[in-house]
Structure 1
């Protein structure tokens, strides 16, 4: 995507960080639709719609929640594309790792996906763990061919996580 295209996509949103994140998600093939979300959503202002996300900028409390929910879309089993977020613990851990890789790719601090308002108060601990090389969920991403675990990268001749080989399970 050219810088101009990212700027055009980002202009949909009053918060430039939300615009940057949405532009990235669209670039990697995760559809994001802007709409007024009625009723409760698991995270304020964002809903998973099977193969993409809906975002209500007026209700979005934390821009980093877009990365985590997109992580669920990205790592979901491609044989069940319309089932939404799985309760599979492996997919949850992989979504954590995916959101860190996405934030790193975008040059964002780990506190964006792992903010103070999330993870039952454990956002700071997750940010610290990922920033210090503790990569929960990375084996799942590697098993699906999305990344290479750091301890295997040299032998594989590949860049290690948080570098991603692909952004979506196929």
Structure 2
């Protein structure tokens, strides 16, 4: 099942314009096992992947960066970017929206070993509409929010998956 979800996520990323490549990677090159962001692409070493859902979170880092910077993005520099904190919060919100869009249980991304053990809390809060990162996605025109509970075109619905 995990492999089916992983391939579904890969197809989605390629469809929205986030390129994925399969290649052997050195373990020390990867922030998350089996994944490396290089030049705005996700390099995947399936033999080293520990948690398949980490793919969507890594993709989110690419998605929330401006189009002008996207092709220059390197995984090792993500934490040093001037907007690293807001990009991390947007990436979490983006990842949750991607799970809902793909009809994948959010535990796929927000597993027990990730997010300093806070994955379950993130899922619980987002499921209740207690979001973080969403206001910035909204400000960037990637999603919208509404107080109308029947409005289906609001977060976690995404207007666009990649930042301009």
Task: Please indicate the TM-score interval, normalised by the length of the shorter structure.
Answer: 0.7 to 0.9
Q: Work out whether residues 5 and 104 of structure 2, in 8 Å CA contact, stay in contact via their aligned partners in 1.
A: no
In the TM superposition, residue 50 of structure 1 has moved relative to its aligned partner by: 3.1
**1:140 maps to 2:136:** yes
Is 1:122 the counterpart of 2:110? The answer is no
- Which deviates further from its counterpart, 24-33 or 34-43? 34-43
* 4+ runs deviating over 6 angstroms: none
Deviations 1:69-89 (A, max 9, x none): 000000013332313353321
CA distance in 2, matches of 1:150, 1:54: 37
Gaps of 5+ in 1: 1-13
- Alpha carbons of structure 1 residues 36 and 135: separation in structure 2 relative to 1, 3 Å: same
TM-score in terms of structure 2 length: 0.87
The answer for the alignment partner of 1:79 in structure 2 is 68
Q: Which has the higher helix share?
A: 2
Q: Secondary structure at the match of 1:59?
A: coil
Secondary structure of the equivalent of 1:149? coil
* Range with greater deviation from structure 2 (25-34 or 144-153): 144-153
| Superposed displacement of residue 120, structure 1 | 1.2
CA separation of 1:29/1:135 partners in 2, compared to 1, >3 Å: closer, same or farther?
same
Q: How many residues align?
A: 155
- Taking the aligned partners of 1:19 and 1:101, their CA distance within structure 2 comes to 18
